Structures are given as structure tokens and as C-alpha cells.
Structure 1
Amino acid sequence: MGIKDRFRSLSVVDTVAALVAMVAVAGVLWSPKLSNTVARATGSVKPVLVSVDVRNSRAADPERLIKEALGNGSTNLIIRNQPAGSAELIRVDDIRRKLVAVQPDGQVVFADDPNQQIQGIIDARFILRSNATITPSGVVVAGTKLKVGTPVELDGRLYRLNGIVSGIDLQ
């Protein structure tokens, strides 16, 4: 039996089954998890520290919200309205504005803005650790380029805060 005879004996069902099998194998080989594993094994994925500034977000109890976020230890990232996985929450820094007053004797006095505490406004810098691919054009987290100025949403169990990337530190 020649090769031509073997191809003639294939039915449409056999051809479709072979095509589905090839698509399944291609999907496994090009899956994001496999490519992330390969990237991690080759060393192109490295940990980065990302600073996200959250300003003028309102909360009934800002201190409790920050404690809950720190207690959870991680937060979900949403970059340009696309889920980008989770990142480890290292710390939250207070970046509230300070009021500055010059006294008659020339001394400069600094004080926290009392309006922020009364109105429940959050001004904080979230320091996150995540794994990212380092490319010549920048840092890529979950397939999305991350640069200073990129809008990011931090999503937790009890909160969803809009912020802006203010710093990226390659470790």
C-alpha cells in the first residue's frame, strides 16, 4: 500500500481529530505558564520592587484599610484594566502632604494636614515585590510594560485603589 492510498483512506473525522490534536499540542507548548517557567529557568524573570502612589482616595477608616492590606501580605495588580496577577506587599509609606509655616523669627514649622484625617483621605505609597521580565525596552509584568507614570489598580479583599507607578527598582 503506497502513501497515496493511505491518505485516501483517511476520513474527514480522522483529519479533524489530527488537526485538534495538533492545536492542543501547540497550545501546551505556547502556554503562558510554560513560557513563564522557561523564562524563570533561563533567568530572564527577576524580582522587582514597584512603588505605587495612591493619592486622594477616600475611605471611612484609612488606617484600618492599610492594616488589612498589610495583614493580607499581597495585593492583586490591574494594569491598564488587565489583571496582572498578584504582588507581595512589602510596606506602606505615609506620603501625606505637610503644611509649612514660617514663623516671625524665621523658623520653619511642619505639620500634618488635619483635613486629610477628618475627611478620610488616603495618601500612601505601596511598595510591592513582583517577578518581571527585563527587556531592553523596560520591565514587563504579566505581559504588560510597566513604567513610571503607568496607572495601576491595587485590588484586595476589601479595597480597590487607583494609583500610579512612581518607581521601579530592579533587584
Structure 2
Amino acid sequence: MAILDSKGRLFGKISLLDIGAGLIILMVAVAIFFYPGTSGSVAQVGAINKDIEVDVMVRGLTVLNPEEFLDNMREEGKTNIIIRNQPYGQVGIKTIQPLPRSTAVPQPDGSVKAFPDPRPELEFTTDMLITLTGNAQITDDGAVFGNSKIKIGTPIELEGQLYTFRASTVAVRIPE
């Protein structure tokens, strides 16, 4: 009996291709489980963790009762944030500052003055500046929440028990 037959089978039973495929699968399994490589993200290399403050601005949020909504957010004192569709977790709410809704009114002398907007539908709309606090990694490239860099202009989604809305980052303060 020949070691290899005319169809490339070893002792007429096992194909050499099957043996090759089995060896490749075995080597991949060994490489995954016994040599996993480095763990963690690149952002963690040389990073320091610090508490930071992030100011986000919300414009035109429609709410049935804006004052009650702001009071509820202050009472909760924390919110979940999502940065670039990646959930980060919970951060603290340090302050919530409602911003006035005004409109520019031209004056007879050609100047422009800001007056409170008289439109009745704006009673259900609020603008606010929220200061969030949380622990972030400080890298050479800035602050990182989770695996997402946080910089001015970064959109952040705030989510609580009764709300979810988007805000834009307007300031990032990293203590020295």
C-alpha cells in the first residue's frame, strides 16, 4: 500500500489539504489564546487620570416645563453620556445655567439691541450651559473619556431617566 494514492490522500484515508487546513486552524487557535498581544487602547499609553470639567451647550431643547426639567436634572446630579455613538458611562452635573432667549431688534438710529423673544412657543424651549465633571485620561493629545477624545466641538449625547438629547462641547478644563 502506497503512502499517497492518486487522489492525494494519505494512506487512502485523509486528504493532505484537510491536514493543512487543520494545522492552520490549530495555529490560529494557539496564537489567539496563548499569545494575545498587548491589551488596552493606544490612548492609555503614558496617560494620567484626572478629574476634568466639560461645558456643553444645549440650544433649542423643547420641553413642556423647562424650569421643572432643569430642577429634575439638578436633583439627579449625574447623567450618562454618549460620545460619537460610544457609551462612556456616568458623569456628574456640576452646574446647569439657563441661557436667555433673545432676539435682535433694530432701532430707529440704526443700532441693534437684544430683547427677550416675545414668541409664545418659546415658553416650551430652553437653552442651557451644563458643566459636567468626570474622570478622564489626560494624554499628549488632550482628554479622553473611555476611548473617545473630548475637545471643543465634540457632540455629546446626554441621557437620563426621562431624557436624551444632544449637546455641543464648548469648553474643556483640565486642572494643572
Same-fold status (TM-score > 0.5): yes
CA drift of 1:97 comes to: 3.4
Would you say the 8 A contact 1:89–1:128 is kept in 2? Answer: yes
CA distance in 1, matches of 2:68, 2:143: 32
CA drift of 1:122 comes to: 1.7
CA deviations over 1:74-95 (Å, ceiling 9, x no partner): 0100111111111100111122
CA drift of 1:143 comes to: 1.2
Would you say the 8 A contact 1:116–1:122 is kept in 2? Answer: no
Aligned match of 2:97: 93
TM-score by length of structure 1 reads 0.69
SS at 1:114's partner residue?
A: coil
CA drift of 1:96 comes to: 2.9
CA distance in 1, matches of 2:150, 2:174: 12
CA distance in 1, matches of 2:120, 2:62: 9
CA drift of 1:98 comes to: 2.5
CA distance in 2, matches of 1:96, 1:82: 32
| 1:116 to 1:73, Cα distance in 2 relative to 1, 3 A | farther
Identity %: 30
Amino acid at match of 1:83: P
SS at 2:91's partner residue?
A: strand
**Residue 160 of structure 1, aligned match among 140, 157, 164:** 164
Give the root-mean-square deviation of aligned CA atoms: 3.7
CA deviations over 1:1-34 (Å, ceiling 9, x no partner): xxxxxxxxxxxxxx9xxx7xx67xx7xx9479xx
CA drift of 1:116 comes to: 6.9
TM-score by length of structure 2 reads 0.68
Amino acid at match of 2:169: V
CA drift of 1:114 comes to: 3.2
Point out the more displaced range, 98-107 or 119-128: 98-107
User: Structure 1: 5+ residue runs without aligned partners?
Assistant: 1-14
CA distance in 1, matches of 2:162, 2:129: 18
| 1:112 to 1:157, Cα distance in 2 relative to 1, 3 A | same
